[in-house]
Amino acid sequence: MCAVIVEPLIQCAGYMRMYHHKYLELLSEACREYNIHLIADEIAVGFGRTGTMFGFQQAKITPDIICLSKGITGGYMTLSTILTTDDIYDAFYDEYEKLNAFLHSHSYTANPIACSAANATLDIFKDKDVIKNKILSAHMRKCFESLKDHPHVSDVRQKGMVLAIELIKDKKRKGLL
């Protein structure tokens, strides 16, 4: 099995690099062409952070595997989960003796308190229009816009509720670090 793993729309671990959703579409096409699985790590960008429930939805692609954590409990408890297609699930679903099973578990798998926190969080997403509320992200943009002119700020970039301020010692050396 071969796979590509990406953080949709924002490469958070690594300077909050934001990229166009077209990249995900082309990547998804290439993966399909070469029969490579596409894994979307939505741990940081999922649950409305970029303006849609999941980042990959802006590219209208369907990853083979999705990783979720952080926002799934609103940050109140630790919980993570992996979602996948029936095909991949079935490939590992077998009698124990056949040794096909992908043995993956943790001591506190399905911890009931963490799962309750996740259910409560998902209820809020269902009942309240939290993602469509763009007021806060527009407010953030307004608050930090003027920093672009600061001598030690080389970039202010934003995608939904993620705003990154890049600090630099010498603005003329941008990109030469």
Ligand X SMILES: *Cc1c(COP(=O)(O)O)cnc(C)c1O
Q: How far is CA 109 from CA 5, 8, 81, 117, 118, in A?
A: 23, 26, 10, 14, 13
Opening angle at CA 147, ends 177 and 15, nearest 5 = 40
CB nearer to ligand X: give 41 or 64: 41
CA–CA distance, 121 with 117 (Å, rounded to integer):
6
CA–CA distance, 111 with 133 (Å, rounded to integer):
31
CA–CA distance, 177 with 175 (Å, rounded to integer):
6
CB nearer to ligand X: give 78 or 100: 78
Q: CB of 35: closest distance to ligand X in angstroms?
A: 25
CB nearer to ligand X: give 12 or 163: 12
CB nearer to ligand X: give 13 or 143: 13
Q: By the criterion CB under 6 A, which residues form the site for ligand X?
A: 7, 12-13, 41, 43-44, 69-70, 80
Q: How far is CA 24 from CA 16, 21, 34, 82, 128, in A?
A: 16, 5, 15, 19, 29
Q: CB of 68: closest distance to ligand X in angstroms?
A: 9
Q: CB of 135: closest distance to ligand X in angstroms?
A: 25
CB nearer to ligand X: give 13 or 138: 13
For 109, half-sphere exposure in the C-beta direction (CA atoms, 13 angstrom radius) is 7
Q: CB of 77: closest distance to ligand X in angstroms?
A: 11
